[in-house]
Structure 1
Amino acid sequence: MKRVPILATLVVLAAVATMVALGVWQLGRAKEKEAAIAEVVRNVKASRIDVAPGLDLQANLFRPARARCERRSPTRLTGAGKYGFRIIADCSAGLNQPLAVQLGTVRQPKEGQAFEGGVVNGYLAQAPDNRSLLRQLFDHRPAGMMIVADPPLAGLAANPPADLDSIPNNHKSYAVQWFAFAAIALVIYALALRRRWA
């Protein structure tokens, strides 16, 4: 009689069950992301909103917005890919913490100039996240928010428009990968048993 190794079989079945559970979890995450993307699409088409205390900035991602920046602020540079560099200042807007404002872009870095404040029209976006990938694994806080000026501050190049393609939804492909890993593990184990019994 051909015997099946109990311990090895339990280990393989536990691994397969874990992979299947991860695949199912990714399918659930895909539905959540689809709902979030649908909300963002609605935000892009929504009317302009004023940034004020109590406003849920994350829920209004990519929505046209207006901020009243009450104080002068120094500016700083961050990378903007093919656009060169972003010029970013801080805007109090009556909030507990300053809201970053992307005033415009420049091709080459130059000495920062102070932002004098005033009304900024644009859209709400996620601010550049300076946390390392390793830190983001353990720090699950969402990235900060900012308002991307449109039109840009005088003398600066235009900011990129709201880009819905920048919101990835690859959870279904991750689910397929986990299910494939589970199937491969079962096939390998079946081949190993066949070889053992030969």
Structure 2
Amino acid sequence: MRRTLFLLIVGLGGAAILIWLGVWQIQRLAWKEAIIADINTRIAAAPVDLPPTVNAEDDAYLPVAVTGSFDAGEVHVLVSQKDVGAGYRVIAPFALEDGRRIMVDRGFVLTTDKDAPRALGPATVTGNLQWPRETDSFTPEADLKGNIWFARDVPDMAQTLGTDPVLLVARSSTPQPAGISPLPVDTARIPNDHLQYAITWFSLAAIWLGMSLFFLRRRRAPKTES
């Protein structure tokens, strides 16, 4: 009897924990979808002038339009595009009319065009401010000699290019430089795997209950004499 009670407690308790984890992931899913919806609304809003003081928390994804001039110097960030292959994001310094210097993510170029000359000088750029978090403990150090970066690290890129730590990801540019395809901010890059996690926890709960029932039935089954 005690053995049966123990199996029952373990079976129901374990299933309850797994079901709770699944419900928690469903709640996280709703939270993440609300965040993504809010970001999408912010991205698609009408562009405004770059604020006099830019804050990474308050101004993330803010749509802005700036007029100024592209200066010499670039940072090349290694990326891969579906159906295209490997290439680089081109990050360039941009001098605003008020004297500030920011960075503009001009877009994607093929590996063969990494060091191709690109138009400098006056331009108007429309896009969204972003401070991407792409670095972690596994991210290789940038190859400064070869100008190959493996993630967009805003503070380090700004120090290298001599700009403010502000990155504008271009949606469009006038004039549009030849050979560069804009890579505008896209919330599809924001991970949202909570539904898969929830399905996993609920599946484990079902398996746990099934195994618990199996052991209980086996425990209660009459023993046959040999």
With the length of structure 2 as denominator, give the TM-score of the two structures.
0.61
- Equivalent residues of 1:100, 1:127 under 8 A apart: no
After superposition, the Cα gap between the structure-2 partners of 1:85 and 1:17, relative to the gap in structure 1 and judged at 3 Å, is: same
1:107 deviates by 0.9
Q: Separation in 2 of the partners of 1:92 and 1:20?
A: 55
Q: Separation in 1 of the partners of 2:59 and 2:34?
A: 12
After superposition, the Cα gap between the structure-2 partners of 1:3 and 1:107, relative to the gap in structure 1 and judged at 3 Å, is: closer
Q: Separation in 2 of the partners of 1:192 and 1:92?
A: 72
- Equivalent residues of 2:106, 2:180 under 8 A apart: no
Aligned residue for 1:44? 43
1:111 deviates by 3.3
- Equivalent residues of 1:89, 1:103 under 8 A apart: yes
Aligned residue for 1:146? 167
**Residue by residue, what CA displacement relative to the aligned partner does 1:61-101 show, whole Å, maximum 9, x if unpaired?**
2x5323577995732212332252111235698xxxx9653
Matches within 5 A, 1:106-145: 106-109=109-112, 110-111=114-115, 120-125=125-130, 127=132, 129-131=134-136
- Equivalent residues of 2:72, 2:92 under 8 A apart: yes
Secondary structure, aligned partner of 2:24 = helix
After superposition, the Cα gap between the structure-2 partners of 1:160 and 1:2, relative to the gap in structure 1 and judged at 3 Å, is: same
1:43 deviates by 1.8
1:5 deviates by 4.9
Bigger shift: residues 39-48 or 112-121: 112-121
- 1:86 correspondence with 2:89: yes
With the length of structure 1 as denominator, give the TM-score of the two structures.
0.68
1:9 deviates by 4.6
Aligned residue for 1:140? none
| Alignment match of 1:104 (pick from 104, 107, 120) | 107
Secondary structure, aligned partner of 1:4 = helix
Q: Separation in 1 of the partners of 2:68 and 2:8?
A: 64
Which structure carries more helix by proportion? Answer: 1
Provide structure 2 residue ranges, at least 5 long, that are not aligned to the other structure: 140-152, 155-165, 222-226
- Equivalent residues of 1:127, 1:146 under 8 A apart: no
Q: Which amino acid aligns with 1:182?
A: A
Q: Which amino acid aligns with 2:169?
A: V
Identity value in percent: 29
Moved over 6 A (4+): 68-71, 112-118
Provide structure 1 residue ranges, at least 5 long, that are not aligned to the other structure: 135-142
1:156 deviates by 4.1
